Structure 1
Amino acid sequence: MSADEQTALLPALDSHYEITKAQVEDYQEKGHVLLRGIAAPNEVAAYEPVISDCVKRLNNHNKPLEERDTYGKAFIQIGNLWKHSEAVAKFSLARRFARIAADLMGVDGVRMYHDQALYKEPHGGHTPWHQDQIYWPLDTDKTITLWMPLVPISEEIGSMTFASGSHKKGFINRMVISDESHKTLAQYIDGKGFEQWTYGAMAAGDATFHSGWTVHSAPGNPTDHMRKVMTIIYIADGLRIAEPQSNSHRSDLASWFPGLGPGDLAASPLNPLLYSRSQNG
C-alpha cells in the first residue's frame, strides 16, 4: 500500500466538537481549559504510530539524558511535522481542532503557527515555568496551544500545571525555558497569588488548550514509558507580525514566517488558514 493510500485510510477529523459557553468562559478567565475526548480512541490509535514514526525519523538527540541541559532533558521536540508527512498533516490541519481554537478565543478564524511533538522520555526532566509567546513575534492575546496526549497519562506523570489568570498580565519577561525562568516565574506566581492548576491524569485524545501568555510548567516523567504529546499552536486570522524584540523573536520569524517581516500579515505558506467561521460556518 502506498503512503497516499495509507493517508487516505486515516480517519477524517472534520466533525464538530461542541464546546459550552461555560468552557469558553473558563478558558478566557483562567487562560486554560481541559476538553475530554476531542479525538476518539480509534482516531488516536490510528494517528499515534504515524506521529511517533515521524518523531523517530526526525529526532536528532544524540546525548544521554544525564549529559543534557535542563531544556534538553525536558522533551524530544520536533516542529512542523505536518510538512514532513501528509499523514501527520491530516491530524495537524484538522478542522475540528481548529474550530475549537477559534471558538475558545472568540475569533472568526485561525491559522497554523506550527505543530510540535513533545515526547518526554522515560525519566526525562521537568519543563520549567515559562510563557510560550515570548518566542513569537506577535503582539496579541489571540494565540492558543492545543496539547494532546497520544497515550494515556497517569496521575504519576501528570499533565501541565498552569498559573491561572497569568495570561491577563500579557508579557512578563523574556526568559526562555531554563532553570532561571523556573525560579524567577515561580517567585512571580507566588508573589501575585496565582492559583496553580493541574488536570492530573488524561486519556489519549483529551486535550488542554492554553493561551500563549499563560505561564505553565510540566513535571518530569518518573516512569519507564514515553509520554507522547502532540501540540498545535494556532493564531487568529488577520494578525500582523510585530517588530522583533529579541533573538527568540528573530529566530521564530525566520522559521515560521519565512519571507515576511514586521507589519506583514502573519500568513506565509507555513501558516495556512485552518478554519474560518465566515467561510465554513
Structure 2
Amino acid sequence: MHEQLLGQHSADRLISQEHIEFYRENGFVQVNDLLDEDELATLREYMEESMSAKEGLSVKTGKDNAAYARVLNQKVNTWRDHGGMATFAFHPRFAEIALRLTGAKGIRFFHDHALWKMPGDTNATPWHQDSPKWPMNEDGCMSIWIALDDVDENNGCMMFVPKSHKVGKLTNISLHDPVNIFDFVQGTELADRKPVRVPLKAGSCTFHDGLTFHYAHANKTDKPRRAYAIIYMPDGTTFNGKPHMVSDGQSCTPEEPLRGPMFPLLAKVPAQR
C-alpha cells in the first residue's frame, strides 16, 4: 500500500527515457509488469464483480446492439459503482506514467472502461482513432490498456500504426459498422506503414495517444479476453460541446476546461521552489 501511494517512485521503476521518447515518436508504448500478482488478482476480482452487477451509474455500452456486443462487451465508468475499481481508476502510479509520457503539466481522469472480448464468435475491433469519440477540443488525450489475461493475436491483442498520431484527428469510426480508416490517408506515407502487433503478459499494458490508429484481433479462444482501460487528458483540456455519455449531465461548458469531481486531477508536475 505504501508504494501505491507513491505513484512517482513506482513510475521510476517501470519507465525510462527510452519509453518516453518511443511514445512521443510513435504514439504508443508497451510497459511491462505494471501490476504485481496481488494487484492483478485484485483487479480481476473487482472487474468480475463490476461486470456482473446490475448497472447503476456506470454504463454498459452496446447492450441493445447485438453487432456491437460481438465486438466488445464493455462497461464505462465502473468506478462510479465499485469502490475497488476506483482505486485502480485513480491509481497514482498509472497517472504518473501518463504525465511523463505526454509531457503535460497535469493529468486529469476522463473515464474508465472494462473491456471483455467474449470467446468464440466475436469480431475484431476495427482500425480507429479514439479522439474523435471524445468531446475535447485539444489533442493530447491518451489511454492506458491493461491486460488482465495474456493476450496475443488469437484472443484479441492490440495492433498500432507507428507515428499515425501525427496525421491529426480524422473521423469517428463505428466499431460494428466500420469504414476503412486508411481510405483517409491514401497517397501518404502512413498508408503503407506496417502495423505493430503488441502481445502482452497479464499485468502488463500499453499506453497510446488518442490519435493513434489501433486495432484488436478477434477472440478465437474459449475464454473471455479481459482488459481494463483508463482515459486521461492533459489538465486544461476544454469541452467541445458535443454529446458524450461521460460529460452529458455534468454541467460542462463549451470551450471551458473539463474539470471538477468527475474529472479529477491525478498527477501534476511539482511546483519549482
Q: Tell me the TM-score normalised to structure 2 length.
A: 0.86
For residue 198 of structure 1, give the secondary structure of its aligned residue in structure 2: strand
Could you say which residue in structure 1 is the equivalent of 2:20?
24
Q: Distance in 2 between matches of 1:77 and 1:260?
A: 24
The reply on whether 1:51 has 2:50 as its aligned counterpart is: no
Identify the match of residue 72 of structure 1 among 60, 69, 74: 69
Identify the match of residue 104 of structure 1 among 101, 114, 119: 101
TM-superposed CA distance for 1:241, in Å, is 1.4
TM-superposed CA distance for 1:82, in Å, is 0.8
Structure 2 residue identity aligned to 1:271: F
Question: Are 2:108 and 2:264, in contact at CA under 8 Å, matched by a contact in 1?
Answer: yes
For residue 179 of structure 1, give the secondary structure of its aligned residue in structure 2: coil
Work out the percentage of aligned pairs sharing the same amino acid.
Answer: 28
Inter-CA distance 76–158: structure 2 relative to 1 (3 Å threshold): closer
Q: Distance in 1 between matches of 2:272 and 2:6?
A: 11
The runs of 5 or more residues in structure 2 that have no matched partner are none
Aligned residues: 260
Structure 2 residue identity aligned to 1:120: K
Q: Distance in 2 between matches of 1:280 and 1:89?
A: 30
Q: Distance in 1 between matches of 2:20 and 2:3?
A: 27
Inter-CA distance 279–232: structure 2 relative to 1 (3 Å threshold): farther
Q: Distance in 2 between matches of 1:143 and 1:220?
A: 26
Q: Distance in 2 between matches of 1:28 and 1:209?
A: 11
TM-superposed CA distance for 1:110, in Å, is 0.6
Structure 2 residue identity aligned to 1:272: P
Inter-CA distance 91–273: structure 2 relative to 1 (3 Å threshold): same
Q: Distance in 2 between matches of 1:14 and 1:120?
A: 32
TM-superposed CA distance for 1:272, in Å, is 0.8
TM-superposed CA distance for 1:10, in Å, is 12
Q: Distance in 2 between matches of 1:12 and 1:46?
A: 14
What is the root-mean-square deviation in Å for CA atoms of aligned residues? Answer: 2.5
Question: Are 1:122 and 1:227, in contact at CA under 8 Å, matched by a contact in 2?
Answer: yes
Structure 1 residue identity aligned to 2:258: A
Alignment of 1:260-271 (within 5 A): 260-271=252-263
**Following TM superposition, where does structure 1 have runs of at least 4 consecutive aligned residues deviating by more than 3 angstroms?**
9-15, 58-63, 186-191, 252-255
Q: Distance in 1 between matches of 2:177 and 2:239?
A: 29
For residue 78 of structure 1, give the secondary structure of its aligned residue in structure 2: strand
The runs of 5 or more residues in structure 1 that have no matched partner are 1-8
Question: Are 1:149 and 1:205, in contact at CA under 8 Å, matched by a contact in 2?
Answer: yes
For residue 17 of structure 1, give the secondary structure of its aligned residue in structure 2: helix
Identify the match of residue 129 of structure 1 among 127, 144, 147: 127
Query: Which structure features the higher share of helix residues?
Result: 1
- Superposed CA deviations along residues 7-39 of structure 1, whole A, max 9, x for unmatched, are xx9994644222111111111111111000111
For residue 70 of structure 2, give the secondary structure of its aligned residue in structure 1: helix
- Superposed CA deviations along residues 163-201 of structure 1, whole A, max 9, x for unmatched, are 2111111111233324333xx21444675222211112x
